[in-house]
Structure 1
Amino acid sequence: MKPSAASGVGAALPSAGVQGTIDEIGMPLASTTFVVVDLETTGGSPNAAEITEIGAVKVSGGELLGEFASLVRPSVPIPPFIAVLTGITDAMLSTAPRITSALPSFLEFARGSVLVAHNAPFDIGFLRAACDQIGVAWPMFQVLDTARLARRVLARDEAHDCKLSTLARLFRASTTPNHRALQDARATVDVLHGLLERLGNVGVHTVEELSLWQSKVTPAQRSKRHLAEQVPAAPGVYVFADDDGRALYVGKSKNMRSRVRTYFTASETRTRMTEMIAIASKVTGIECATNLEAEVRELRLIAERKPRYNRRSRFPEKGSWLKLTIEPFPRLSLVRQVSDDGAAYLGPFGSRRLAEAAMTAVHEAVPIRQCTQRLSPRKPQAACILAEMGRCGAPCNGGESVEQYAAHVEAVRSAFTGDPGPVVRRIRERIDSLAHRQRYEDAASHRDRLSTFVRTAMRCQRIAALAAVRQLVAARRLEAGGWEFHVVRHARLAAAGTSPPGADPRPYVDALAATAETVLPSPPPQPAGTSEEAECILRWLEIPGVRLVEVDGKWSFPVPSAAAYAHIVGATEQDRAHAAPFADRRGLRPAG
């Protein structure tokens, strides 16, 4: 990848005598437009549930400016307990718009405002997930949480908890919350006004001061706000570092300066960030040409510098792979690396536990041997108990010849690289049998192992197909005009760039490809970069409007492939989400 010009970062300015900018001072609460939003959903997790209703109220200076209400037709039926809780039924949603039309309408209604929600992580989490689902960029709203504010403002003897119904009664809301989106949003408006009235008496008069009050900002955090002014107000990657230059945290943003400022106002709610800010002495911004380049740079910097306050992506080299060994009687083996030895591999798995679960799934479906010693067709050995149970053809004692055993090997190889149908069908037969005998926990264990195997096979096959392409150049038109381009070689981002509005994009593409990083292929199915980087690239390539400019090689998927069984993964995640529908751990108790 071509390096982007890094912003010049000088010595840290002293905290005293730094004049705040207009956008840092904040907006007066009296003239700020708030959009109070509430959602109803099919479950508690945005990864497994969908939005069924959006309600929002727009207010400014205590005056009602407008309301937004829309039912949303999900792709799955309403669970019975949700229908009882909200009163929303499948019949009510039969003619409702899909999220693809309801969400853009809401975002237009909320444009330019401060979003407010009661238990905001829940509602904002669903809205952001819906944006990702339909390919719409999430606007960087400032968000206020009335539940969090209430925990700071109210004494314990005023409210025994901070549920919306409790606070609505306390502030004599004109609307009683009833688990319908618009009604709950109206009640939240009255709660917001009641809380703002309390805060005005303690000197909170701007959105900035409200954010500080909401988030328990320490003096040490406030004193380091000047570090954000060293960061460009541009898309890219930012790096927090200590006095010795060691990276503490790496992040990305479409506007680095704006995002970095939130760490010093504590809009960032992760508790470990307070400790990180106390140690940090400088922030470096690295400008990137495109959002994809920023994503990839973030992953590479985290893997390279391993900042201790990043939790994900620090050790991509620690992934596990399943290997179908090369020997007269192959078996499955757990390995750390992929070798160029002609063996079939599946992975990488994020943990050894997941790799073992997928291995168990294969062993349940295919009678491939599970012993670890090397076998020779010329030296028979005693059979193990698995042969007596019929779960192995006993090639060790001559029960199966090399040719007979090769049928099992081919079934496993095909499940890794092409069609896992036979494996899937055998395990599902086992699940149905266990469920018929009411052995539901055993059936669930088989289901989880099958889901792990299918998910990894889908991912591995998609990445392997891209890794086989020597060079792929793709482009997407930008909203402001012009194009963004990416050069991908063996599933690694080799270059990123843009062309200005109105210019002929072809010379820019040619120049980018000519100066792109030289990338050598890795042993298949491994990409030249990390699997996470390859997934980022694939997500970008799947965005509507992306055009393939050049493909050097063959980019294709096997038919049939593991993708044909994607519904198994979705059903498993949905089952897990519905297993404990009322297990709400959002912490609604007031702070003591």
Structure 2
Amino acid sequence: MHAARSDLSYPRPTLHAVPVPAPRLARPTQLAFDELDTPLYDTTFVVVDLETTGTSPGDDAITEIGAVKVRGGEVLGEFATLVDPGRAIPPAVIQITGITTAMVRAAPRIEAVLPGFLEFAAGAVLVAHNARFDTAFLRAAAAASDTPWPAPQVLCTVKLARRVLGRDEAPSVRLGVLARLLGASTEPTHRALDDARATVDVLHALIARVGNQGVHSLTELLDYLPNVTPRRRAKRVFAQDLPALPGVYLFRGPSDEVLYIGTAVNLRRRVRTYFTGSETRGRMREMVELATRVDHVVCAHGLEAGVRELRLLVAHTPPYNRRSKFPKRGWWISLTAEPFPRFAVVRTPTRDAIGPFPARADAAETAAVIAEFTGLRTCTARLPRDGAHTCPPAVVGGCPAAGAAPLDRAAYAPAPRLVRDLFAGRSDATLHTMLDRIETHSAAQHFEAAARLRDRTAALIGVLRRIQRLAAIARIAELVVAHPDGAGGWEFSVIRYGRLAGAGVAARGTPPMPVVERIVAAAETVIPVGDASQEEVLRPEHTPIHMASHEPHDDGPPLRGASPDEIAVIARWLARPGVRIVHTSEGYREPRYGAARWAGWAEVAAAAARGNPLQDEYLDR
């Protein structure tokens, strides 16, 4: 063991060689690095070096592991062992390292060594010279031995040296060169423990250099690695007064305009990343250059932050948010208000509608598929009540109106009824018809046609599943739910007709029900949308079952005017493990014959589309 250096940027006692960790005073339990900006003098590093049979983690194996654990300049322990790679060591490697096949024949295998090393390195920052090489071999060894990889924080001294030392001072960043340049007390020998000890000295010398530039914590050191302009780094003060709480942040420009909006579970930590090298997006770097300050809105929990972000995006349409460029870009498939209804692709949904689709072409393609299997007409002409038309007759298939005789309303009525029943989940007969067609194609060995229809059917099921699920939430007048906050407390949300109306938390030890009562009392009033002017459009003619006759609030669009994006965020939050219902005005329910019944089929179809052809997987379902 070598003597400790004394030219570091933090106090480091001089120690003599010790084979075991020296005793230290008890310290408080350390929180996550990002939470505390852990000082470098209180950060535990495990500096590791490997010797291997080659350079490929997949084909080669580890022959030696050496590691040194240090904290605050004090060596806490060392780990060193030869490893049997299970194969002969190539002569070229023997020449470099001096490790022969005979030396490792009696050594333990990596599956016996790795758990001990991971225990030695637990909770520490892993440091290596060219860390990508060493960690790749360690991860490969963990995978081969079915050992969980803990994914520690990693620091590479090659990258740190490139950042700290100019090329005129250090033309090369090889370990031997840096050890001589920085005065390491151990000379690298291509043996694992010697090289790890030399890397410790290199690490300490580099930390001393950056300490003079104001880098005193682990977070600052990791942020320092990428090259960031001084102007961008100086704007880090925008984050220093932000709370370490969940919320929404707004970057503002020279004219106080909103440039960008985002959410965070920890506002200070998230905003700070924009001024470091961890932010690599070109658009974001440009935005940060323009920013003059950062506003924030503290939220009770992540759901409130997500909903507020969506609402602020619509209100401000910031130029650097991709989602805000087209805040109302969703397209819906709706039935028209005609004696002989057909599909229309519209921006505003009616009751008999599904969507939204991101692109009009997607909606049109889905409408064409549904029309084909329900018998709905596809021509765009508005037909009179007597069914007279001028559509040319179809040679094969085509629009039901493309015939010699006028359309009969009674004969046409089943088509829009099938559509309404499919959308409302009253019947899945249309999906069965599509499945029968797939099987017919498959039986005739028309596998490409079967695969195309399979994919379209799976896509339709996905659209129906989403709208029916969101509509089930939008139907509930009031839903109060709770989720554990992970610290013994609870996060509460009040949802009314698919909108977040109130949010709050009850910390550990706080009686939750009084908190819930206050949140409910202060929650927003939500009135669902029901447009009576659309009665002609919405009334399902010739339909014997009318949902509005036995389900409240079904005289409006599927989501009752709520934002699809907002309900989707709420739905994802409700699906989290641990969510509990505190109170609800009515039960959550999806239609009996809705797309949820077909979710398993859709998953198999999606897997078939990604992998093997239809005839190999689908026919054996």
Specify which of 327, 334, 359 is matched with residue 338 of structure 2.
Answer: 327
Post-superposition CA distance 1:114-169 (Å, at most 9, x none): 799969xx9xxxxxxxxxxxxxxxx9x996597995997899x999xxxxxxxxxx
- Kindly indicate whether the alpha-carbon contact (under 8 Å) linking 2:331 and 2:357 is maintained by their aligned counterparts in 1: yes
- Kindly indicate whether the alpha-carbon contact (under 8 Å) linking 1:235 and 1:288 is maintained by their aligned counterparts in 2: yes
Shift of the alpha carbon at 1:500? Answer: 3.5
1:551 aligns with 584
Identity %: 34
Shift of the alpha carbon at 1:534? Answer: 0.6
CA distance in 2, matches of 1:244, 1:250: 16
1:270 matched to 2:275: no
CA distance in 2, matches of 1:516, 1:497: 10
Post-superposition CA distance 1:42-87 (Å, at most 9, x none): xxxxxxxxxxxxxxx9985597889xxxxxxxxxxxxxxxxxxxxx
- Kindly indicate whether the alpha-carbon contact (under 8 Å) linking 2:43 and 2:124 is maintained by their aligned counterparts in 1: no
1:32 matched to 2:45: yes
2:471 aligns with 464
1:401 aligns with 408
- Kindly indicate whether the alpha-carbon contact (under 8 Å) linking 1:288 and 1:294 is maintained by their aligned counterparts in 2: yes
Shift of the alpha carbon at 1:396? Answer: 6.7
Shift of the alpha carbon at 1:547? Answer: 2.1
CA distance in 2, matches of 1:537, 1:346: 19
Shift of the alpha carbon at 1:463? Answer: 0.9
Q: When the two structures are superposed, what TM-score results if normalisation uses the length of structure 2? A: 0.62
Provide closer, same or farther for how the CA distance between residues 291 and 201 of structure 1 changes in structure 2, counting only shifts above 3 A.
closer
2:248 aligns with 237
What letter is aligned with 1:320? Answer: W
What letter is aligned with 1:562? Answer: A
SS in 1 for 2:416: helix
1:126 aligns with none
SS in 2 for 1:309: coil
SS in 2 for 1:32: strand
Greater mean alpha carbon deviation, residues 497-506 or residues 401-410: 497-506
Post-superposition CA distance 1:509-534 (Å, at most 9, x none): 22211211111102320244311111
SS in 2 for 1:520: coil
2:600 aligns with 567
SS in 2 for 1:318: coil
1:290 matched to 2:301: yes
What letter is aligned with 2:592? Answer: V
SS in 2 for 1:215: coil
What letter is aligned with 2:354? Answer: L
Matches within 5 A, 1:97-108: none
Post-superposition CA distance 1:453-479 (Å, at most 9, x none): 211111100111111111111223433
Provide closer, same or farther for how the CA distance between residues 558 and 421 of structure 1 changes in structure 2, counting only shifts above 3 A.
same
Computing the radius of gyration over CA atoms, which structure comes out larger, 1 or 2? 2
- Kindly indicate whether the alpha-carbon contact (under 8 Å) linking 2:123 and 2:152 is maintained by their aligned counterparts in 1: no
- Kindly indicate whether the alpha-carbon contact (under 8 Å) linking 1:376 and 1:396 is maintained by their aligned counterparts in 2: no
Post-superposition CA distance 1:291-324 (Å, at most 9, x none): 2111111111122211222223553422100002
CA distance in 2, matches of 1:142, 1:260: 23
Specify which of 454, 457, 461 is matched with residue 447 of structure 1.
Answer: 454
2:569 aligns with 536
1:357 aligns with 365
Shift of the alpha carbon at 1:439? Answer: 5.7
What letter is aligned with 1:265? Answer: T
Greater mean alpha carbon deviation, residues 422-431 or residues 513-522: 422-431
- Kindly indicate whether the alpha-carbon contact (under 8 Å) linking 2:317 and 2:325 is maintained by their aligned counterparts in 1: yes
1:426 aligns with 433
- Kindly indicate whether the alpha-carbon contact (under 8 Å) linking 1:519 and 1:528 is maintained by their aligned counterparts in 2: no
Post-superposition CA distance 1:172-209 (Å, at most 9, x none): 9999xxxxxxxxxxxxx99xx79x87994995687446
CA distance in 2, matches of 1:325, 1:459: 22
SS in 2 for 1:486: strand
SS in 2 for 1:413: helix
- Kindly indicate whether the alpha-carbon contact (under 8 Å) linking 2:492 and 2:505 is maintained by their aligned counterparts in 1: yes
Greater mean alpha carbon deviation, residues 508-517 or residues 490-499: 508-517
Greater mean alpha carbon deviation, residues 556-565 or residues 373-382: 373-382
Matches within 5 A, 1:52-91: 60-61=69-70
SS in 2 for 1:372: coil
1:517 aligns with 524
SS in 1 for 2:473: helix
CA distance in 1, matches of 2:415, 2:275: 59
- Kindly indicate whether the alpha-carbon contact (under 8 Å) linking 1:28 and 1:207 is maintained by their aligned counterparts in 2: no
CA distance in 2, matches of 1:532, 1:452: 19
CA distance in 2, matches of 1:526, 1:115: 53
- Say which structure, 1 or 2, has more relative contact order (CA 8 Å, 6+ apart): 1
- Kindly indicate whether the alpha-carbon contact (under 8 Å) linking 2:482 and 2:579 is maintained by their aligned counterparts in 1: yes
Provide closer, same or farther for how the CA distance between residues 29 and 437 of structure 1 changes in structure 2, counting only shifts above 3 A.
farther
Provide closer, same or farther for how the CA distance between residues 219 and 411 of structure 1 changes in structure 2, counting only shifts above 3 A.
same
Shift of the alpha carbon at 1:214? Answer: 4.6
What letter is aligned with 2:363? Answer: A
Shift of the alpha carbon at 1:221? Answer: 1.6
CA distance in 2, matches of 1:440, 1:412: 27
2:390 aligns with 382
CA distance in 1, matches of 2:296, 2:510: 29
Please, which runs of 5 or more residues in structure 2 have no aligned partner? Answer: 1-33, 50-65, 81-117, 137-149, 174-187, 212-216, 530-555, 614-621
Shift of the alpha carbon at 1:498? Answer: 1.7
Greater mean alpha carbon deviation, residues 211-220 or residues 362-371: 211-220
CA distance in 1, matches of 2:442, 2:428: 21
Matches within 5 A, 1:154-169: none
Post-superposition CA distance 1:222-245 (Å, at most 9, x none): 121111113112111111111211
- Kindly indicate whether the alpha-carbon contact (under 8 Å) linking 2:387 and 2:406 is maintained by their aligned counterparts in 1: no
SS in 2 for 1:537: helix
Post-superposition CA distance 1:404-428 (Å, at most 9, x none): 2121212111221205633333334
Please, which runs of 5 or more residues in structure 1 have no aligned partner? Answer: 1-20, 37-56, 67-105, 123-138, 160-170, 176-188, 581-592
2:380 aligns with 372
Shift of the alpha carbon at 1:363? Answer: 2.6
1:501 matched to 2:535: no
- Kindly indicate whether the alpha-carbon contact (under 8 Å) linking 1:492 and 1:527 is maintained by their aligned counterparts in 2: no
Provide closer, same or farther for how the CA distance between residues 327 and 238 of structure 1 changes in structure 2, counting only shifts above 3 A.
same
Provide closer, same or farther for how the CA distance between residues 407 and 271 of structure 1 changes in structure 2, counting only shifts above 3 A.
same
Q: What is the count of residue pairs matched by the alignment?
A: 450
- Kindly indicate whether the alpha-carbon contact (under 8 Å) linking 1:316 and 1:530 is maintained by their aligned counterparts in 2: no
Post-superposition CA distance 1:374-400 (Å, at most 9, x none): 112425223445x43234433875465
- Kindly indicate whether the alpha-carbon contact (under 8 Å) linking 1:221 and 1:264 is maintained by their aligned counterparts in 2: yes
Specify which of 484, 508, 533 is matched with residue 491 of structure 2.
Answer: 484
Shift of the alpha carbon at 1:552? Answer: 1.9
2:482 aligns with 475
CA distance in 2, matches of 1:251, 1:325: 39
